[in-house]
Amino acid sequence: MLIDLHNHTPLCNHATGTPLALASRAYELGCKYYGFADHAFMPFEPEYRMSEVQIEFYEDLVKETAEHFRGKMEILLGYEVDFMDDEKYFSPRVMNSKCDFLIGSVHFLDFWGFDNPAFIGSYEGKDIDELYGQYFEAIARSARCGCFDILGHIDLIKVFNYRPKKEIKILAQPAIKAIKEAGVCVELNSAGWRKPCAELYPSDEILELLADFDAPITFSSDAHSVEQVGANMDKTIAKARQFGYSKACVFKKRSREFISF
């Protein structure tokens, strides 16, 4: 494993493992660029993210971990920021942080946390194709907003394996076009393999579209524990190669570099 940019810490209240333990596992697996991108503070569902007063502590913790691995593995400081379609949910402290990168993720549609098992009941009675349409519109807006270096798990709406009747390529295509036009990077997130959908985020069909558009990619395990660090990453890299990719992005101080893999 060369690159893994999206990893959580216990500060989000639903992950385990110290940053040192998480990064040590990545180092064991041969990682060269390891990123923390914990759930950033926002004034909504505070139980699933760091608080505003923890921002400083989080950044110090990541910098200390980076110091520990200096010369051996680069540790990068990022945030996973919720794209809520309303700027009032962006914390200025996070958005203006001197971090390495920001990942924009859609976890909410009309304030419904659709990937949270606690709220799975809300899928009942919804038109699944309309829901996918609404989801990919949000993904397109998150690309166009220009706030993010990377978009997180761009087909997370499949997490519980509710699949659309319409062809996924037709549903996702406008969002992929917006991603290409915005020049934003997309993560290949191996966490999908440990969820009911049991496949990479994004699916082969969407990965093929990304490759057709020559959209930049990076790699993430979205680990919420030491065991999840780098899990299924070999399969993820093989998928990238299968669709013609040979370079992936890393970000330092918000500027992009391409690394061959």
Judging by DSSP bridges, how do beta strands 3-4 and 217-220 pair with one another?
unpaired
Q: Which is nearer to Zn ion, 80 or 100 (CB)?
A: 80
Contact (CB, 8 A) for 51 and 94: no
What is the C-alpha to C-alpha distance for residues 1 and 244, in angstroms, rounded to an integer? Answer: 18
Candidate segments 101-109, 140-148, 195-203, 210-218, binder of Zn ion by CB under 5 A: 101-109
221 binds Zn ion (CB under 5 A): no
Q: Is 4 in contact with 221 (CB distance < 8 Å)?
A: yes
- Binder of Zn ion out of 105, 190, 218, 228 (CB under 5 A): 105
The stretch among 63-71, 148-156, 167-175, 204-212 that binds Zn ion (CB under 5 A) is: 148-156
Q: How far is CA 162 from CA 32, 46, 159, in A?
A: 36, 27, 7
Judged by beta carbon, residue 152 or residue 216, the one nearer Zn ion is 152
Residues 6+ apart with CB under 8 A from 58: 9, 11, 36, 38, 50
Interacting span for Zn ion (CB under 5 A) from 18-26, 135-143, 147-155, 237-245: 147-155
Taking the least distance from each CB to Zn ion, the nearer of 78 and 152 is 152
Question: Where in 46-85 is the site for Zn ion (CB under 5 A)?
Answer: none
Cβ distance to Zn ion smaller for residue 34 or 79: 79
Quote the least distance from Cβ 63 to Zn ion, whole Å.
Answer: 22
Size of the site for Zn ion (CB under 5 A): 2
Query: Segment contacting Zn ion (CB under 5 A): 149-157, 175-183, 197-205, 211-219?
Result: 149-157
Q: Fill in the amino acid letter for 96.
A: N
Q: Residue type at 54?
A: Q
Q: Looking at this protein, which amino acid is placed at residue 76?
A: L
The answer to whether the peptide bond before residue 92 is cis (omega within 30 degrees of 0) is: no
Report, in Å, the least distance between residue 8 CB and Zn ion. 5
Concatenating the DSSP letter of every residue in 183-198 gives: T-EEEEEGGGGGSTT-
H or E element at residue 119:
none
Which of the stretches 27-35, 123-131, 150-158, 212-220 binds Zn ion when contact is defined by CB under 5 A? 150-158
Nearer to Zn ion, 9 or 24 (CB): 9
Choose between 16 and 134: whose C-beta lies nearer to Zn ion. Answer: 16
Q: What is the 3-state secondary structure (H, E, C) of 138-156?
A: HHHHHHHCCCCCEECCCCH
Site of interaction with Zn ion (CB under 5 A): 105, 152
